[in-house]
Amino acid sequence: MNNQTKSQFVAVASITSELSAVMVVAKEISLAAANAKAIAFRAGDKAKGFQPITDFINELAKETIELVTDINVYALLLYRLTVNEYRRTSAYNRFEAAAKLAENAAYGASMQGPVDVAKGRMQDCQRQFKRDVTHLLSQLEAVMHHARAARVIAANSRIEASQAGEYLQSLQAVAESVDKAAHTIHDNVQRCRVALSIYRSN
């Protein structure tokens, strides 16, 4: 296996691992949202501005979880495609080697057919991989977008929390954890994108 293939395997496998971390964090956000909702409810009027925010955070977490679930299915397909591409590339290389060794063989020319077919299949796989990577990158971009939105909301939450009197601290803690979680998601997804971006089609 050459280095290019190895790093392709690693890049694709790393998506799944980065995303499983994203999933954990997204669930944390959804928990934080439920928590915030309970506090805001108790705080009543003092946390009026906070209530719609909690719904929004919850919605965002749910969407992120759905997106990541989708991406995971897609990442598995991409992994299979990588395996396929590896198989087809190595078949093509070995067919070429056989054709070369058989240059002087009575039936050496009959190897040209399999060589051409193998080459076509390998190139199909490479093209498909590039297309799929491009699509995956746009899905990852959507997750990043959600993470950025979550950070904006966290900032708003902090402002709203400051009006909440004795609930200030607990609401601020909620804002804090949403911010942290969004930050983690952003970083993880960014790493996936960097790992994949060299394979995208132009």
Provide the mask over 87-126, with x wherever binding to other proteins is found by CB under 8 A and - wherever it is not: xx--x--xx-xxxxxx--xxxx-xx-xx--xx--x-----
CB of 16 to other proteins, least distance (A): 22
Q: Kindly state the smallest distance separating residue 120's Cβ from other proteins, in Å.
A: 12
**Taking a C-beta distance cutoff of 8 angstroms, is the pair 39, 47 a contact?**
yes
- Write out the two tokens for 195: 């790992």
**Closer CB to other proteins, residue 36 or residue 115?**
115
Kindly state the smallest distance separating residue 13's Cβ from other proteins, in Å. 20
168 lies in the site for other proteins, by CB under 8 A: no
Q: State how far the Cα of 93 lies from the Cα of 96, in Å rounded to an integer.
A: 5
Q: Give me the 43-82 binding string for other proteins, x by CB under 8 A, dash otherwise.
A: ----------------------------------------
Minimal distance in Å, beta carbon 96 to other proteins?
Answer: 8
128 belongs to the binding site for other proteins (CB under 8 A): no
CA angle 50, 174, 140 (to 5 degrees): 100
Q: Are 89 and 81 in contact (CB under 8 A)?
A: no
Q: Between helices 3-43 and 112-161, what is the axis angle to 10°?
A: 20
Phi, psi of 163 (to 5 degrees): -90, 0
For residues 189 and 138, is the Cβ–Cβ distance under 8 A?
no
User: Nearer to other proteins by C-beta: 89 or 177?
Assistant: 89
Smallest distance, Å, CB 111 to other proteins? 6
172: left (phi over 0), alpha (psi -120 to 50) or beta: alpha
DSSP string, 62-109: HHHHHHHHHHHHHHHHHHHHHHHHHHHHHHHHHHHHHHHHTTTSTTGG
Query: By CB under 8 A, how many residues form the interface with other proteins?
Result: 22
CB of 128 to other proteins, least distance (A): 17
Which residues here bind other proteins, judged by CB under 8 A? 87-88, 91, 94-95, 97-102, 105-108, 110-111, 113-114, 117-118, 121
